[in-house]
Amino acid sequence: MGHIITDLKERFNKGNIAIQLIFINVGVFVIVTLINIFLQLFNRSFAFAEYLSLPASFPRFITQPWSILTYMFMHADLLHILFNMLWLFWFGQLFLYFFSAKHLRGLYILGGICGGILYMVAYNVFPFFRPMVSVSTMVGASASVLAIVIATAYREPNYPVRLLLFGTVRLKYLALVVVLMDLFFLTSNNAGGHIAHLGGALAGLWFAASLKHGTDITAWINKTLDAIISLFSGKAFARRKPKMKVQYGSNTDRQKDYDYNARKKASSEEIDRILDKLKKSGYESLTTEEKKSLFDASKK
């Protein structure tokens, strides 16, 4: 068992941000499901899960404000999480061709927040939903994932996507169909989910359009997350023994450092060149080697 946990930790640490988000979602789903099964064996209900789900009622939300964040890591069943994580994997990798890992992390959170807010507002504004407000809750990463899809489609609308039954289509058409499907099913049994999807789509569009004009609307999210991570890292560092000072014993050691720094600088300059080319001419203008270099850099 210890080897499995060690292997999972290693894969998590080596994976890019899309992989790490998938790990978190799957981990939460497994833990919640196992607890729920255990309690059901004793005819008990897992009421704690309700406090992690996003309620449509504003009075209920006030008593559990954290649910605007936790709901986007919760899923109703196996198929629900399977499809969401497949979309996150496919479009997360594509997103990282054009944006940074921090952009993906921030947009995942922003898309979920915008989807959740639109869901609550719609259920309290439109008379059609009012009979269901007091009992409705929502879970799922769909709004976050759709924000990533729409942002990528806005950045590179003509990128070809190969679909199993429909062949190759441009990304902008795929995004358009997904949004239209959500509009068509606004009064279905899963109306809350479709409303949240639209909120996530608007967040993705907002992010990509703002970034094009030089404004990163996910910056505040990433600063907050970095501060939290730094806080925990600082505590962990305080428990460690001070590191020993390293003195170079020969010119060979210094030369190795110089060589390493030179290679690092050259690699950084090459990535900058590729990004400039990508910005001016689009993704299709890149060579296979340039695409590989950009993909490798996105995982670091």
pLDDT band at 287 (very low <50, low <70, confident <90, very high): confident
Other Cβ atoms closer than 10 A to 222: 18
Mean pLDDT, range 27-48, rounded to an integer: 86
Residue 247 has pLDDT above 70, yes or no: no
Mean per-residue pLDDT over the chain, rounded: 86
Q: Is residue 240 part of a domain?
A: no
User: Based on the structure, what is the number of domains in the chain?
Assistant: 2
In terms of domains, do 147 and 264 share one? no
Domain that holds residue 267: 252-298
| 259 shares a domain with 115 | no
Strand partners, 138: 54
* Residue 100 CB neighbours (<10 A): 16
One DSSP character per residue, 29-98 reads HHHHHHHHHHHHHTT---GGGGGTSEES-HHHHHH-TTHHHHGGG--SSHHHHHHHHHHHHHHHHHHHHH
pLDDT in tens, 203-238: 999 999 999 999 999 999 999 999 998 888 765 445
**Mean pLDDT, residues 253-274 taken together:** 66
pTM of the model: 0.77
pLDDT of residue 277: 75
Residues 117 and 263 grouped into a single domain: no
* Out of 20-34, 203-217, 283-297, least confident range: 283-297
Q: Which of 287, 146, 270, 120 is nearest to 206 (CA)?
A: 146
Q: What is the mean pLDDT of residues 55-78?
A: 95
Confidence of residue 153 (pLDDT cuts 50, 70, 90): very high
| Angle, alpha carbons 114-98-211 (nearest 5°) | 50
Residue 242 lies in a domain: no
Measured over the CA atoms of residue 275, residue 281, residue 287 and residue 291, the dihedral's sign is positive
Please name which of 143, 155, 163, 179 lies closest in space to residue 96, comparing C-alpha atoms: 155
Beta bridge partners of 55: 137
* Cβ neighbours, 10 Å, residue 90: 15
Enter the tokens of residue 255. 């030369």
Rounded to the nearest 5°, which phi and psi values hold at 131? -65, -20
Predicted confidence band of residue 120 (pLDDT cuts 50, 70, 90): very high
**CATH number, residue 11:** 1.20.1540.10
Query: Which residues make beta-bridge pairs with 160?
Result: 170
Q: Are residues 60 and 166 in the same domain?
A: yes
In a domain, 143, yes or no: yes
